[in-house]
Amino acid sequence: MSDSKKTSYFSSGFTLGILGGGQLGKMLLYETRKWDIATKVMDPSKDAPCRLACNEFVQGNLMDFDTVYHFGKNVDVLTIEIENVNIDALEALEKEGVEVYPTPRELRLIQNKITQKLFYVDHGIPTAPFSRFAYTSEIDDSLDHGGIQLPFVWKSAQFGYDGQGVKIVRNRSDLRDLPNVECLTETLIPFKTELAVIVARSRNGSVVHYPVVEMEFHPEANQVEYVLCPARISDKVAKKAIETALRVSEALEHVGLLAVEMFQTREDEVLVNEVAPRPHNSGHYSIEASFTNQFEQHLRCILGLPLGNTDSKVAGVMVNLVGAEGHEGEVYYENIEKILSLRGVTPHIYGKSVTRPFRKMGHVTIVNEDMEEARKIAGEVKRTINVISKMKV
Amino acid sequence: MSDSKKTSYFSSGFTLGILGGGQLGKMLLYETRKWDIATKVMDPSKDAPCRLACNEFVQGNLMDFDTVYHFGKNVDVLTIEIENVNIDALEALEKEGVEVYPTPRELRLIQNKITQKLFYVDHGIPTAPFSRFAYTSEIDDSLDHGGIQLPFVWKSAQFGYDGQGVKIVRNRSDLRDLPNVECLTETLIPFKTELAVIVARSRNGSVVHYPVVEMEFHPEANQVEYVLCPARISDKVAKKAIETALRVSEALEHVGLLAVEMFQTREDEVLVNEVAPRPHNSGHYSIEASFTNQFEQHLRCILGLPLGNTDSKVAGVMVNLVGAEGHEGEVYYENIEKILSLRGVTPHIYGKSVTRPFRKMGHVTIVNEDMEEARKIAGEVKRTINVISKMKV
């Protein structure tokens, strides 16, 4: 790419394509607007959060070869905000000179959780022991013969977005509810906490990483409830988590962000759980807390710009806003005014008109000079705001 | 307004109207998108920065009664990002139940610089001595009779946006270039520095203020070159500036933001220069540096939400990006990649396709734990980036 083309990110004649128009894309669009970078977004839903703020919005099936191919032909750089896209089309586009980041090779490896697991094993990256199955129905046999033991974590090989496709299996009857698909089972690791490190790697090869964050999960919904940055862990464990994340990054040679999710075991070992090749829920705190937020950083990576400083200005805690149980219908953010009166509280509303139990509807960031205070306020936020529907009887 | 209507800011059925679609409106739209608040924007230019990210964009003349009136009839709350709008239309809308903030009364008072000056005098608010003239041509007479002395500051009564409408007159020939309009002349105050305080006042009457910022002006263009927060002044002067700004705020009973620009004289007196009833260039640093940025704060005010914390997370310096002299045509941001490699540097590109000498094309914020370091990097930013047109011969 010539220099004159490179600088045109900031003027006319350059278009960034984004596959997926959900909340991650929406937050990426704040940054493209900030830098006046022209964007074209495709999403299957005409009401996708990205329908505004892009220069062109296209409704289309992200898994369809022709749709993705034709969309990508008219952009200069193509990125994604969701992994489940037609990778064959991305490969064809890449061959024809479109810059696709993350690369199709990287996406193919990550999209299938079995391939991802084998990649960790091949590169000596610590991860929980696992077994692979062509169909969920084959697991019974393996239990019969002692190949695996209850309880375990079941993961579908494909389409594991947003807590779907992952299930803790405690007894055989839990297996009955699962789809009969290619899958893996993973030893249930008793862990102290979950950690994540976002690594940013530019297309020119330079690498920076964000601080280690700590994730607290909702015990039932298997969704993150709080993300804390920095994680409240020892320097030794933090160092280990960062080294592990950088090893994954180096082995993968990704371009763009890579969110590396890890378990901190009871023995203070660090095991890689899974990775996401894009801006990630565990990095949302960075909008308010970091010198360079993850969305701007992703742009810097895929456009080959110098990477930004990943330090935090203040401590940050993020609370996911998910639909309350028992509520389905037009969304209502009960008590949102109340949380706005708390110090350092910023709600982000994704703009989905309908709420469903555990659906990600937004998030709230709490920043403070002091982490303990931020976490305390985050608890208050969590107890105060409710994502409900008034249509409930 | 009923509670159910109030909470609908965050769901469907509520629309915020914005008169003016320039850079201030564009930055306000980041916040409406963050909270998924539906917006309708009107601007005379079809290529206005706000054409994206609003729910509906209307091209129209902001000074035309019918155009403004019909635009405003279909929104719930109406705000402005530029003072020069048809106030008669706003008054009609207000009478018919549209919530208009800033109020037409407040806008009328501010829109005319003579009325604004008389307001300060009436309320005992310190300001530079001045004389008023129905026409610029009458100034000669006053000079002849010793009514005023050279040099002085000439200000047109109307339309004083963005450095236009203000001129330092050092000799009689300077007067020849000025439009023959209603105007005032102001004693040229030898000042140490210019300060500004942004006061936020909610429609429910609660008030908060941002820290005092310090402004460094370009010596010729009469445009701000650097804004520093916090100002490098004594606590005593800071206290005086804040008290003065709060007095203006209280007297004006504004709703929304009020940016109060002041001179710090050689004797450490504080004189009010002028005010702006909206998000202001002197508050752009707040996007990166403050707990609550000025645009979110403006929304909080006009929607009657609790006001946000105005503390800074880090020191901030803002550099205006204005078109270089001798360049007119399609804009090119020379060396923007270079400034992106400096620590804590965030460029904002407003998205105007054509540059002209001294036209505001964007700004850059530099944040740092240490103000001296931030100011140093800001100087480097200023020396490095150039807003030019390649079409120059």
Mean pLDDT of A38-53: 96
Q: Give the pLDDT of residue A10.
A: 74
Cβ contacts of B25 within 8 Å, gap of 6 or more? B18, B41, B43, B48, B49, B50, B81
Is position A274 annotated in a ligand binding site? yes
Predicted confidence (pLDDT) at residue B162 exceeds the cutoff of 70: no
Q: Give the pLDDT of residue A4.
A: 40
Q: Give the pLDDT of residue B391.
A: 64
Q: Give the pLDDT of residue B8.
A: 61
What string of DSSP letters covers A372-390?
Answer: HHHHHHHHHHHHH-EEEET
Please report the number of interchain residue pairs, chain A to chain B, with beta-carbon separation below 8 angstroms.
111
Predicted confidence (pLDDT) at residue A1 exceeds the cutoff of 60: no
Q: Give the pLDDT of residue A391.
A: 64
Q: What is the pLDDT of residues B56-111, one digit of tens each?
A: 999 999 999 999 999 999 999 999 999 999 999 999 999 999 999 999 999 999 99
State whether A306 and B340 contact (CB < 8 Å).
yes
Q: Give the pLDDT of residue A55.
A: 95
Residue B90 and residue B63: Cα distance in Å, rounded?
11
State whether B291 and A52 contact (CB < 8 Å).
no
Q: What is the pLDDT of residues A285-316, one digit of tens each?
A: 999 999 999 999 999 999 999 999 999 999 99
State whether B346 and A309 contact (CB < 8 Å).
no
Residue B177 pLDDT grade (very low, low, confident, very high; cuts 50, 70, 90): confident
Q: Please, where in chain A does CATH 3.40.50.20 lie?
A: 3-100
Residue A185 pLDDT grade (very low, low, confident, very high; cuts 50, 70, 90): very high
A chain contacts of residue B7, beta-carbon cutoff 8 Å: 332-334, 336-337
Residue A6 pLDDT grade (very low, low, confident, very high; cuts 50, 70, 90): very low
For the annotated binding site of B for ATP, the residues are: 113, 155, 186-189, 194, 273-274
Q: Please, where in chain A does CATH 3.30.470.20 lie?
A: 191-389
State whether A343 and B309 contact (CB < 8 Å).
yes
Thinking of the domain B3-100, which architecture would CATH place it in? 3-Layer(aba) Sandwich (3.40)
Interior/surface letters B256-295, b for 16+ CB within 10 angstroms, e for the rest: bbbbbbbbbbeeeebbbbbbbbbbbbbbbbbbbbbbbbbb
Q: Give the pLDDT of residue A134.
A: 95
* DSSP alpha helix (H) spans, A128-234: 139-144, 172-176
State whether A10 and B306 contact (CB < 8 Å).
no
Q: Please, where in chain B does CATH 3.30.1490.20 lie?
A: 129-187
State whether A36 and B351 contact (CB < 8 Å).
yes
Residue B6 pLDDT grade (very low, low, confident, very high; cuts 50, 70, 90): very low
Residue B206 and residue B310: Cα distance in Å, rounded?
13
B chain contacts of residue A353, beta-carbon cutoff 8 Å: 11-12
Residue with the bigger pLDDT between A189 and A108: it is: A108
Partner residue opposite A337 with nearest CB, options B26, B305, B367: B305
Residue A16 pLDDT grade (very low, low, confident, very high; cuts 50, 70, 90): very high
State whether B314 and A313 contact (CB < 8 Å).
yes
> Chain B, 341-370: which have a CB under 8 Å from a chain A CB?
341, 343-344, 346-351, 353, 367
Predicted confidence (pLDDT) at residue B320 exceeds the cutoff of 70: yes
Whether ipTM exceeds 0.90: yes
Q: Give the pLDDT of residue B87.
A: 97
Residue A77, token pair as written in the block? 């750089």
Predicted confidence (pLDDT) at residue B240 exceeds the cutoff of 70: yes
Interface mutation vs chain A, best among B3, B10, B338, most A CBs within 10 Å: B10
Mean pLDDT of B313-332: 95
Q: Which DSSP letter does residue A210 get?
A: P
Residue A1 touches partner B, C-beta closer than 8 Å:
no
CA B288 to chain centre: 18
Residue B3 pLDDT grade (very low, low, confident, very high; cuts 50, 70, 90): very low
Partner residue opposite B30 with nearest CB, options A30, A55, A309: A30
Q: Give the pLDDT of residue A390.
A: 80
Residue A13 touches partner B, C-beta closer than 8 Å:
no
Cβ contacts of A383 within 8 Å, gap of 6 or more? none
Q: What is the CATH number of domain B129-187?
A: 3.30.1490.20
State whether B11 and A341 contact (CB < 8 Å).
no
Q: What is the CATH number of domain A191-389?
A: 3.30.470.20
Report whether B102 contacts B90 (CB < 8 A). Answer: no
Amino acid at B57: F
Report whether B26 contacts B49 (CB < 8 A). Answer: yes
Beta bridge partners of A187: A152
Residue B7 pLDDT grade (very low, low, confident, very high; cuts 50, 70, 90): very low
Q: What is the pLDDT of residues A69-96, one digit of tens each?
A: 999 999 999 999 999 999 999 999 999 9
